[in-house]
Amino acid sequence: MATVHVLGAGLAGLSAALRLAKAGRRVVVHEAAKQAGGRCRSYFDPALGLTIDNGNHLLLSGNRDALDFLTLAGAPEGVLAGPVDAAFAFADLATGERWTLRPNAGRLPWWVLDARRRVPGSRARDYLAPLGIFRGAAKAATIGESMACEGLLWDRLWHPVLLAALNTEPRESDAGLAATILRETLGAGGRACRPLVAVEGLSAAFVDPALAALTQAGAEVRFGRRLRALGIEGGRLARLDFSDGPEELGPDDAAVLALPAWVAADLMPGLSVPQSHRSIVNAHFAVPPKPGAPLLLGVVGGVTEWLFSYPDRLSVTISGADRLLDVPREDLARTIWDEVSRLSGFAGEPLPRWQIVKEKRATFAATPAETARRPGARTHIANLALAGDWTATGLPSTIEGAIRSGATAAQVLAGTGGNAALRGAA
């Protein structure tokens, strides 16, 4: 039977591998690290004495590819938790105000007419501002060139939401990516906007079920295998050179390259990939939240941007965080804890056990220039497809984008123009 080699066991690679294995293909996954998950995994942190994720991630009920992945992997019910309806709690550190944004379930956004459902001080017509993003998307413009980036609603809604989604200062971000996000979530109504969090960890939700499903489907996962080079002969991938030796590909074999953009570019000279990246800072505090704390709290007016209340800890995410990379970790922990303690009912209490995680290349910079550098899944090599959140998914660098890219890569190998032996894998 023809073999598909999936190179990389992050969510993009796992997504491609699952699609192919479930379709009856022989799949071998190769991963350089000792564990799967890439930038979406859990690990035990000795400083906290807790298992944490290497990055807090928020999903929405409209993330169909991510939810389909969980179904395909046979993930247990309840691995993603969230409110029954679309509801987003916010707090303003500067003023002390709190409110909850409550979009209605249907596509017609009548909720903006109800002052109790929208941002305090905003008017219904203020919510028309993002329509400019859809016009800007057709011109490869930035958000700053497409809508007014100022005012109360910008500060309290559009800026924090777009920054979280794009991990790039929204004013310089690509309007096309923002348009896709808005179209698939808020534009689809509240049913697509219900916030979902992997409260027991990303590995428990995504990685462990996927690995179990791959094993059950007869796939093989090999850890500690670092890819050094691709052997190309006659327009086909003929050999994989790993650190522990080469592996020859048969005439009907194929591969999915699901590695970080900079690694893929080294392996495939001339491949266009995003060059610039943005960081994310996460702060974790080993203190359980007070009863009734919202699972997710959007924060304006401080360093803290999003506060996650996990059962055993409080965790903060700060996007586009390049400005914080050189701040000493302890100073950062104290600053963030001062804000978190006031927001969560622990004001005046000493700094608990903490951890600061700085991910320097968390995502590609979601600018028009970097978006234009994203390659498609299909390559000039007949039996090789690309996957990764940095490929041209139409989405920014997100879990949804990574999983979608893997599904697309599987379709490329299975469809017309792909390897005939892989047809039916999509």
Q: Which domain CATH number covers 266?
A: 3.50.50.60
Question: Domain end: 142, 168, 193, which one?
Answer: 193
Question: Domain end: 193, 220, 255, which one?
Answer: 193
Half-sphere exposure of 81 (CA within 13 A, CB side): 13
Same domain, 267 and 406: yes
Taking the CA atoms of 68, 69, 73 and 75 in sequence, report the sign of the dihedral they define.
negative
Same domain, 13 and 153: no
CB 345 within 8 A of CB 312: no
380 within a domain of the structure (yes/no): yes
CB 405 within 8 A of CB 377: yes
Pinpoint the alpha helices (H) of 284-328: none
Same domain, 262 and 389: yes
Burial of residue 274 (number of CB atoms within 10 Å: 0-12, 13-18, 19+):
buried
**Phi-psi group of 324: left, alpha or beta (phi > 0 → left; psi -120 to 50 → alpha; rest → beta):** alpha
Q: How far, in Å, are 163, 211, 288 from residue 343 at the CA level?
A: 21, 38, 14
**Phi-psi group of 308: left, alpha or beta (phi > 0 → left; psi -120 to 50 → alpha; rest → beta):** beta
pLDDT at 420: 37
| 3 state SS of 40 | coil
424 within a domain of the structure (yes/no): no
Closest CA to 406 of 218, 184, 257: 257
Same domain, 97 and 171: yes
Q: What is the domain count for the chain?
A: 2
Gap between the Cα atoms of 118 and 109, Å rounded: 11
115 within a domain of the structure (yes/no): yes
Same domain, 101 and 188: yes
Please provide the DSSP assignment of 146-201 as one string.
TS---SHHIIIIIHHHHHHHHSS-GGGSBHHHHHHHHHHTGGG-GGG--EEE-TT-
Print pLDDT tens along the chain (426 aa). Answer: 799 999 999 999 999 999 999 999 999 999 999 999 999 999 999 999 999 999 999 999 999 999 999 999 999 999 999 999 999 999 999 999 999 999 999 999 999 999 999 999 999 999 999 999 999 998 999 999 999 999 999 999 999 999 999 999 999 999 999 999 999 999 999 999 999 999 999 999 999 999 999 999 999 999 999 999 999 999 999 999 999 999 999 999 999 999 999 999 999 999 999 999 999 999 999 999 999 999 999 999 999 999 999 999 999 999 999 999 999 999 999 999 999 999 999 999 999 999 999 999 999 999 999 999 999 999 999 999 999 999 999 999 999 999 999 999 999 998 633 343 343 344
Same domain, 101 and 224: no
Residues pairing with 308 in the sheet:
296, 315
Same domain, 377 and 263: yes
Q: What is the pTM of this model?
A: 0.95
293 within a domain of the structure (yes/no): no
Question: What is the extent of the structural domain holding 381?
Answer: 3-42+203-273+372-416
3-state helix, strand, coil in the chain (%, to 5): 30, 25, 45
In the numeric block, the tokens 């489907």 are attached to 217
Residues pairing with 220 in the sheet:
28
DSSP H/E element including 296: strand 296-300
Chain-centre distance of CA 58, in angstroms?
A: 8
Same domain, 210 and 189: no
Same domain, 158 and 212: no
CB 189 within 8 A of CB 105: yes
124 within a domain of the structure (yes/no): yes
Give 154-194 pLDDT, tens digit per residue.
999 999 999 999 999 999 999 999 999 999 999 999 999 99
Same domain, 118 and 153: yes
CB 362 within 8 A of CB 312: no
> Which residues, including other chains, have CB under 8 Å from residue 213's CB and lie 6 or more apart?
18, 21, 22, 72, 73, 74
227 within a domain of the structure (yes/no): yes
Neighbours of 217 (CB within 10 A): 17
297 within a domain of the structure (yes/no): no
Question: Domain end: 173, 193, 213, which one?
Answer: 193
Q: Which amino acid is at 178?
A: A
Same domain, 238 and 143: no
